[in-house]
Amino acid sequence: MDLTEHFKCMAITTFIGYKALLNNETPVACIIKDIKTNKIISIGYNYTNKSLNGTQHAEFIALQRFKNKNINYNDLVLYVTVEPCIMCASYLRQLRIRKVYFGCGNDRFGGNGTILSIHSDNLLNSTYQSICGICRTEAIQLLRNFYIQENESAPTPKLKKNKDIESKLFPPNQFTITKEEFIYNLGEERLRIFEDGSLELTPRLNEGYNVKDFLKLEELKRIPFLEQELGDITQQQIDSFGSLFYSIEGDGSINYEMVVLKYTT
Amino acid sequence: MQPESHVDLKNGILYNRLKQIKLDNDIDSEWPEKIPVWSCYFDPKTTSKFLNLVKVFNDDDLKHLKRLIKIDDKIRGLICPGPESTKEEIKKLFKDAAFEYHDLELVEVPAHGAKSIETTLKWASIWPLNWKGNPNHQMLNKLSFDIEYESKMVNKLLETLQENTEFVSVTIFVKNNHIELIETNKFEDKLHPQDHAIMKSIDKIAKNELYKRKNYPDEEIGYLCNGYHVYSTHEPCVMCSMALAHSRINKFIYLKETNSGGMASSYYLGDRDGLNWKFQIWKWIGSDEVERINELIRVRQELKEY
Ligand SMILES: [Zn+2]
Ligand SMILES: [Zn+2]
């Protein structure tokens, strides 16, 4: 099964998260794709700091644009760097979104399987599928860059807690979907990754990738709302973005030998 | 412990009108979850030196534990939670202070205190715990409510609902005993989730704060909905319940449960550990108001069917 299209969508989403970081927001972002036209029709990024509204998560920003429009949410697929929180998971379900793809799990608030399974519980009728693990390490790495920055500006009266933020190893890759869902959505030939815990998904089996491979300036410039809301995009930005992430090898292992940079303001 | 006269500790009811909505009951599990904590042995004469040295660590996660236990002619002391510091860091701290110790090692201790004296004693076989009484009972006894004010707000909900037969639910946001917002929902086939009364209120409070910071920079700034008490005719959905937690409210009072509610009907959002924020949840059980809302709901259902 070729997952290139999903990786491309998630690479764009991760780049939007980076733009949010440049705008002093938590680097969590999403895009909405219309399956009828296969086009990205909206983007979202955390907007809680600027709006002073703790509910303005990426999913809300992306979908509230359609609030008074006639739209069939069942045609829409969401790609989001971090698993939707409990609130957003319920929001997506009430809107009857078609499907969700996310990068890394949300250990604190995850509503698509990590803490609660709001996408599939029996409180409401319609459920949605939520597939994890596309560009997982990149989503985590981007968040780490945000917390490094926060930590360095925060006063530390007591000994610094070792929160593992700067250590390079990523937590084990545990899928929040069933084996059947994995096979159906990500391919039986990748089951090894489902079972192993230390390997990452790649777009094509036995081929490695780096998230920056999927980004093209002209394409990014055409993403709706992106430049208007988060500022102009330059090739230099794409390059700085690319320097933050480890490559993934063909066997799904992470290339920790690579030198990656830390984001600084 | 003598309960205050308005407190029903067993059922978590205050003034016969407010019932506490709480995720866990007062029954302890057989054995507690455990956390690793650094510990070492030292001479009893150096106890005060030890206590002084470990002050640099955050002890929030250790408050339920006895810090020191006597073993033969030695003291075994807890230093700090495992993830807080490395063995090397602790060694260096002790070496720099010329503090003598031995057997610096991680020990697995109960992650939280017990809810009864019996369990406290039982769990002491793992590590001795402090017992200061049932934490929830202590909290209930200490709470001070202006029950007349709470009653007034609940009746305000009902009055507003009664104003218009199209209204199906009402929510009031209060800060410092001042009504900041009253939002209603009408019956609609396809109510957009962001039009739920709670989401509308949170949005208005944020916009108001933005406006205030811009135009009246000298006024005290607000942080999300922190400090707010929220009153609602109904238990909110999962989205709205979690939105209240994200918004850092302090107290929520409602009258009626709903099928897809996110509090008493399912996940007790607002009273769950680990979600970064908890707030008090109360269900109003005063019989006059309960009868009145049942009647108002009945009328609305009849109209809907009609
Ligand atoms: Zn969210
Ligand atoms: Zn709601």
According to the 3-state scheme, what is the secondary structure of A106-149?
A: CCCCECECCCCECCCCCCCCCCCEEEECCCHHHHHHHHHHHHHH
Tokens 């093209």 correspond to: A216
ipTM of the predicted structure? 0.93
Residue in chain A nearest B274 by alpha carbon: A108
Using CB atoms, which residue from A116, A158, A159 is nearest to B267?
A: A116
Stretch B85-93: mean pLDDT = 91
Q: B132-153 as b/e, with b when 16 or more CB fall inside 10 Å?
A: eebebbeebbeeeeeeeebbeb
Res B78: pLDDT: 96
Of B175, B245, B237, B161, give the one whose Cα is nearest residue B208: B175
**CB–CB of B243 and A55 under 8 A?**
yes
Say yes or no to pLDDT of B161 above 70: yes
The more confidently predicted of residues A18 and A147 is A18
Ligand 2 centre to CA of B234 (Å) is 10
DSSP H helices in B20-125: 47-53, 87-96, 117-123
Which ligand is closest in space to the CA of residue A86? Answer: 1
Closest ligand (CA of A85): 1
Average pLDDT of chain B? 93
pLDDT at position A171 is 94
Please say whether the beta carbons of A158 and B56 come within 8 A: yes
Mean pLDDT of the residues in chain A:
92
Flag the least confident range among A62-76, A89-103, A132-146, A165-179: A165-179
- Contact state of A55 with B203 under an 8 Å Cβ cutoff: yes
Tell whether B133 is within 8 A of chain A (Cβ).
no
* Contact present, A115 and A82 (Cβ < 8 Å): no
Mean pLDDT, residues B202-215 taken together: 97
Q: Which helix (H) or strand (E) holds B116?
A: none
Query: What residues does B283 pair with on adjacent strands?
Result: B19, B254
Q: Using a CB-CB distance cutoff of 8 angstroms, which residues of chain B are in contact with residue A157?
A: none
Q: Which residues of B touch A159 (CB under 8 A)?
A: 56-57, 84-85, 89
CA–CA dist B28, A66 (Å, integer): 48
Q: How far is the centre of ligand 2, averaged over its atoms, from the C-alpha of B270 (Å)? A: 14
Q: Catalytic one among A59, A83, A138, A200?
A: A59
**Separation in Å, CA of A118 to nearest CA in chain B:** 8
**Gap between the Cα atoms of B35 and B61, Å rounded:** 9
**φ, ψ for residue B20, nearest 5 deg:** -70, 130
> Which are the contacts of A92, defined by CB distance < 8 A and separation ≥ 6?
A59, A63, A78, A84, A100, A119, A128
Q: CB of B3 within 8 Å of any CB in chain A?
A: no
In which element (H, E) is residue A221 found?
Answer: helix A217-221
Instruction: Report the DSSP beta bridge partners of residue B253.
Output: B231, B282
Which residues fall within 8 angstroms of residue A146, CB to CB, at 6 or more apart? A21, A26, A27, A263
- Mutate which of B228, B239, B265, B266 to test chain A, going by most A C-beta atoms within 10 A? B239
* Best to test chain B binding among A72, A94, A165 (most B CBs inside 10 Å): A94
**What are B259-277's pLDDT values in tens digits?**
999 999 999 999 998 898 9
All residues at 6 or more sequence positions from A167 whose CB lies less than 8 Å from its CB, including other chains: none
Q: Residue B265: its chain A contacts at CB < 8 A?
A: 123
Q: Does B236 touch chain A if contact means CB atoms closer than 8 Å?
A: no
**Neighboring chain A residues of B246 at a CB cutoff of 8 Å:** 54-55, 85, 87
* In the predicted structure, residue A149 carries a pLDDT above the cut 70: no
Interchain contact, B238 vs A162, CB within 8 Å:
no
B162-170 average pLDDT score: 95
What's the per-residue H, E or C state across B175-241? ECCEEEEEEEEECCCCCCHHHCHHHHHHHHHHHHHHHHHHHCCCCCCCCCCCCEEEEEEECCEHHHH
Residues of A in contact with B203 (CB under 8 A): 53, 55
- A119: Cβ contacts below 8 Å, ≥ 6 apart: A84, A89, A92, A93, A100, A111, A112, A113, A127, A128, A129, A130
In this prediction, residues A197-209 reach a mean pLDDT of 97
Contact A85 B239 (CB under 8 A): no
In this prediction, residue A161 has a pLDDT band, given cuts at 50, 70 and 90, of very low
Q: Token digits for B251?
A: 């107290």
Contacts 24+ apart (CB under 8 A), B9-16: B9/B134, B9/B137, B9/B140, B9/B141, B12/B136, B12/B140, B13/B285, B14/B140, B14/B143, B14/B145, B14/B147, B14/B282, B15/B145, B15/B147, B16/B285, B16/B286
B221 close to A (CB below 8 A): no
pLDDT of residue A159: 39
**Cβ neighbours of B238 in A, within 8 Å:** 86-87, 89-90, 118, 123
A257 φ, ψ (degrees, to nearest 5):
-70, -25
Which of the two residues, B162 and B9, has the higher pLDDT score?
B162
The contacts of residue B136 (CB under 8 Å, 6+ apart) are B12, B20, B22, B26, B115
Residue in the structure block whose two tokens are 């219309």: A34
* CA–CA gap between residue B106 and residue B80 (Å, rounded): 10
Q: Is A59 a catalytic residue?
A: yes
Give the helix ranges, DSSP H, for chain B: 47-53, 87-96, 117-123, 135-142, 147-163, 197-215, 238-246, 287-305
**Which of A28, A61, A91 has the highest number of chain B CBs within 10 A, making it the mutation to test binding with B?**
A91
Of A98, A101, A106, the closest CA to residue A130 belongs to A101
Provide the 3-class DSSP secondary structure of residue B15.
coil
State yes or no: pLDDT of B246 exceeds 50: yes
Q: Which residues of B touch A85 (CB under 8 A)?
A: 242, 246
Cross-chain Cβ contact A109/B276 below 8 Å = yes
pLDDT tens for residues B15-64? Answer: 999 999 998 767 788 999 899 999 999 999 999 999 999 999 988 889 99
Residues in A whose CB is inside 8 Å of some CB of B read 51-56, 60, 64, 67, 85-91, 94-95, 108-109, 111, 115-116, 118, 121, 123-124, 158-159, 161-163
